[in-house]
Amino acid sequence: MATLYGTQPMRQKILYEWSPSCQLLGLLYARFVDWHDRLTPLSRVLFKSGMLGALVVTICLLHTTNRHQGAVQALKARVLLLVAMLLTLAGILLSLPLSSSANTLRTRDDDGTIPNIQDPHAVNPQSVCPGYKLASVVETKLGVTADLVLAGDACNVYGNDIEWLSLVVEYQAADRLHVEILPKHIGRNNESWFILPDDLLPKPMAETIDATASDLAFSLSDEPTFSFKVTRKSTGDVLFTTEGTQIVYEDQFIEFGSGMPENYNLYGLGETMHSLRLGNNLTRTLYNADVGDIIDANLYGSHPIYLDTRYFKVSERGNMVYSGRADDKQANYKSFTHGVFQRNAHAQEILLRESNITWRALGGAIDLYFFQGPTQDHVTKSYQKSAIGLPAMQQYWTFGYHHCRWGYQDWAAVQDVVDKFAENEIPLETIWNDIDYMKVYRDFENDPVHYPYDKGAAFLDRLHENNQHYVPIIDAGIYVPIPGNDTDEYAPFSRGLEQNAFITNPDGSLYIGEVWPGYCVWPDWIGALYRGTGANRWWASEVSEYHKKIPFDGIWIDMNEVSSFCTGSCGSSERDYGVVSPRSSFIQPSPNTESTNMADPRDLGTPPYTINNYHGGLAGHTMSPNATHGDGTVQYDLHNLWGYQLLNATYHGLLDVFPKKRPFIIGRSTFAGSGRVAGHWGGDNYSNWPYLYFSIPQALSFSLFGIPMFGVDTCGFAGSTDEELCSRWMQLSAFFPFYRNHNDINAISQEPYIWHSVAEASRRAMAIRYALLPYIYTTFYLSHSAGSTTMRALAWEFPDEPWLASADRQFMLGGALMIIPVLQQGSVTVDGVFPGADSGTVWYDWYNQTAVSSVGPGRNVTIEAPLERIPVYVRGGHIVPMHEPALTTAAVRASPWSVLAALDAAGEATGGLYIDDGESVEPEAATWVDVSTSTPLSPSPQPTNHNHNRQFTVSRSAMTARRSGDYKYELNKLAHVTVLGVKGEVSEVTFDTIELDRRSWEMEINSGILRVNDLDKLTEAGAWVSNWTLKWS
């Protein structure tokens, strides 16, 4: 939740805290102030003069009335006239939208800073900097090391040039090359300027390999200055080269770049609101910021990785030529994808231009990892396994529907929402609370009037009895009470202060900013890691203590960029707790908390190079760069990591509460590796049609970033949605891993039961989602265990179709399902493309289960999509395990099984099913089921953590299910099997050796659908307790 998009946070606080009877007056006040702020200075003078004049006239009239009682009637008329004027003004104000309206998107904050990329007078480092020369080269077992020396006079363009550098090149794995350039001389005083500690993001380790086994080749040159090049050996394609450019390496600025091929295809470099394919006219700023999903702005997280997909036209003789305009749909193409990860947590900018890419950073190292691919799947898996870690597995219930609103005033309001979902038979798995529940917006304390603990306990007892769940929000900032004021006492702060848990100013006093509760401090994760201070212990303890009062099931972390509503340590003079840090003895004090740390010679507040930060300077709307950690390091070097560290602390705090259960966390600010501990939601989006579309590329990008548990604020957060938009959004989000509806206090209610059409659209989409929960859970498990993606772009699944390079208006859910949502207002049809047409891929309509006809390479097909339906298609060659839909995930898991097999053109299909207890961090037992209609497969190579392999196969008119693993508690029966694409007549169906009664199955010859029912009688012991084969002939 951001800061009301331009209004002061105190206005919202006043508006919220007033009693319901004063809400109209509060709304009038908020809108008046918002309207007044947007007046020109002259308009404000005229308005105030007019109001003052009206007041003077009224007073004069009252004075006159006292002397001339006969003028009472005239006075009444004048007073009525004045009241009428004020009511008219009130009506106008109430009709105006607040500045948070979705129709009034914000422009960049103007604090006087001019980003370098927008400054016509900015110096181009390439025109003045000398680059480096090789001083020595040594071959090693894994690659090369070398020293680099400045090739001429220092340019000192955006900092102080580093004279000597060290180069390390390692072939770390068969598919991974590491190129690192660091200052040769690094000491304790400047280590954090350049090095990202392994403790914060483990550095990929080199494996013992033969460099010749890699398809990547590294070469270097020293003419005219040092440069390097990475080439794909199998194609001769240059993937990255600094030839023709200078490497610039200063204490507060790094620049390097590479030429790029024509019309290149890059993906990643988040977080931002943009199409999936980034294009070649974009600057990506990586600096975590509380920004309400503004298009192309730097948003909440930083993920410095990109994937580069290149298409080659293949001749009849097999020769390949790069094609920047690969639009010949009669030609054959072959694609190759590689990845580049810059392991750097400092503020960065990546300039994508027509023929080159330039990487700039305000510190850190050149720490590059090249992943050879050659497909997106290979790159993403390698990136996660080697560099950032595999994503956390989620509990089964988290894949149900979640609902929240900022504005539920008490437990009764929340209970009413839960009841109405049940009355309208709309699934509800988890109800959430925004900051409404807090005692004056303070973490870990409930409002004693509106959200008392006793009523909360009773509410949660009822909720949990119904197998439903509860998640509260927890903000990053911790309220700082008035020193010595017993009425303002705040125990969590006091306990944290005792444990030296908070970040300070350079002089050792508390760094105090401002968030929702007022003046706030923030935990010092770095001091806890390197000095043993108490931030992590304190945070885990507070999470545990709060759970004793409110037995929540997960935590929603917000404002962790960090977000601060003021500049600098604005509360230090108001909340003076003296010097609180023991490190004060070795840190030179600063006379101004907003100025540079005097122990650090760098210009932290206004570095020489100005990035295009949405909030202006580095201190804009966040913690100042000189905020100091317990080990003496400063926020300048660690800003992008702070939010990730809060997620990590919360993960371990939840493990203290639930030692054996997978922690469920949804967080806003992320960095590379955050997926290991948390999911992410897309932040404060807008209730309009463009943002319905943007949710798709945003989700697909986070698939690349290793955070598959992703969703958006369904129906939009800011501004008021409408019936049609909310219907379409509830449908779309039903196929995202994380599915939640959430909106702003100033907007209208958007619970799906508000409108009949939205309720119906939601029920239908949810019925599909809940039936697919076994498939979704299995697909997500493969993301967790192997690094595959859950949501997938068409180009990733069909890599040799270049016309799909920009396709982001439809997507795949796993490998079996394709979703084609309606994204335009007023449409009851949608155009969709059906990939793989030239290679014989068959697609089946989810609803009528028949094969789609009249498709061709890259050809759009118009699809009927009435308001209550979202087009869904099943890909031939895949088998999908399912349950019966229900109102909770627990009820779904208790229902009978079914299997949907969609045969490919050869009459074959495969699929898998993962089963465990749905909650354990380390399941004691698990089962994998292989089901296929092809030659029986060996146990699936994907799951490697447990002995739990089972797969479905279909071939030669037979479906086989093979189980491996030891999970014994899944005893639901198999109800029915549906096979799509069956050719010819069927006269006999058998299950193992038993011939089925003719009444238990039916064959639709014209549509090729075989439906086999009544299998529950043959699977009394459970669908997966033993292997089985279903045959038809």
Going by C-alpha positions, the residue among 833, 879, 885 that lies closest to residue 859 is 833
Q: Kindly report the CA angle at 264 between 259 and 270, in degrees rounded to 5?
A: 95
The phi, psi pair for 641, rounded to 5°, reads -100, -15
Which strand (E) or helix (H) includes residue 9?
Answer: helix 9-17
CB 601: neighbour CB atoms within 10 A? Answer: 12
Interval 291-315: pLDDT, tens: 999 999 999 999 999 999 999 999 9
Burial of 80 (0-12, 13-18, 19+ CB in 10 A): exposed
Interval 908-934: pLDDT, tens: 999 999 999 999 999 999 999 998 886
Burial of 625 (0-12, 13-18, 19+ CB in 10 A): buried
What is the pLDDT at residue 113? 85
Average pLDDT along the chain: 90
Contact in structure between 446 and 414 (CB atoms under 8 Å): no
Look at phi and psi of residue 736 and say left if phi exceeds 0, alpha if psi is from -120 to 50, else beta.
Answer: beta
pTM of the predicted protein model: 0.90
Buried b (16+ CB within 10 A) or exposed e, 632-666: bbbbbbbbbbbbbbbbbbbbebbbebbeebbbbbb
Q: State how beta strands 430-433 and 469-475 pair.
A: parallel
Going by C-alpha positions, the residue among 183, 237, 249 that lies closest to residue 370 is 237
Contact in structure between 654 and 543 (CB atoms under 8 Å): yes
Interval 848-859: pLDDT, tens: 999 999 888 889
Which strand (E) or helix (H) includes residue 975?
Answer: strand 974-980
DSSP state string for 311-328: EEEE-TTS-EEE-TT---
| % of the chain beyond a pLDDT of 90 | 83
How far apart CA 714 and CA 686 sit, in angstroms, is 10
Contact in structure between 171 and 143 (CB atoms under 8 Å): yes
Q: How far apart are the first and last CA of the chain?
A: 59
Enter the tokens of residue 887.
Answer: 């109102």
What is the mean pLDDT of the segment spanning 866-874? 98
How far apart CA 688 and CA 959 sit, in angstroms, is 46
pLDDT of 602 over the 90 cut: yes
Say which of 684, 797, 808, 930 is annotated catalytic. Answer: 684
Which strand (E) or helix (H) includes residue 421?
Answer: helix 411-423
What is the mean pLDDT of the segment spanning 386-412? 98
How far apart CA 973 and CA 1019 sit, in angstroms, is 5
- The DSSP secondary-structure symbol of 502 reads B
Interval 430-444: pLDDT, tens: 999 999 999 999 999
What is the pLDDT at residue 255? 98
Going by C-alpha positions, the residue among 253, 36, 19, 21 that lies closest to residue 123 is 253
Q: Kindly report the CA angle at 717 between 714 and 722, in degrees rounded to 5?
A: 70
Say which of 558, 713, 808, 916 is annotated catalytic. Answer: 558
What is the mean pLDDT of the segment spanning 645-660? 98
Q: How many CA atoms, within 13 angstroms, populate the side-chain half-sphere of residue 400?
A: 27
What is the mean pLDDT of the segment spanning 696-703? 98
What is the mean pLDDT of the segment spanning 252-263? 98
What is the mean pLDDT of the segment spanning 878-901? 98
How far apart CA 292 and CA 276 sit, in angstroms, is 19
Per the annotation, the verdict on 561 as an active-site residue is yes
Enter the tokens of residue 536.
Answer: 């992590």
What is the mean pLDDT of the segment spanning 580-593? 45
Helix (H/G/I), strand (E/B), else coil: 1027? coil
The phi, psi pair for 63, rounded to 5°, reads -65, -40
Cis-peptide into 271, omega within 30 deg = yes
What is the pLDDT at residue 952? 76
Cα-based torsion angle of the residue sequence 669, 674, 675, 681 in order, rounded to the nearest 10 degrees:
0
Point out the least confidently predicted range of 534-538, 579-583, 871-875, 948-952.
948-952
How far apart CA 440 and CA 463 sit, in angstroms, is 25
DSSP state string for 443-460: EEEE-TTTS-HHHHHHHH
Per the annotation, the verdict on 637 as an active-site residue is no
Per the annotation, the verdict on 180 as an active-site residue is no
Going by C-alpha positions, the residue among 821, 801, 817, 791 that lies closest to residue 875 is 817
What is the pLDDT at residue 162? 98
pLDDT of 274 over the 50 cut: yes
- The DSSP secondary-structure symbol of 97 reads P
Say which of 561, 724, 751, 797 is annotated catalytic. Answer: 561
Enter the tokens of residue 902.
Answer: 């969609």
Enter the tokens of residue 173.
Answer: 């794995």
What is the mean pLDDT of the segment spanning 164-180? 97
**Residue 928, strand partner residues:** 914, 964
Point out the least confidently predicted range of 106-110, 404-408, 874-878.
106-110
| % of the chain beyond a pLDDT of 70 | 86
pLDDT of 39 over the 80 cut: no
What is the pLDDT at residue 209? 80
How far apart CA 15 and CA 10 sit, in angstroms, is 8
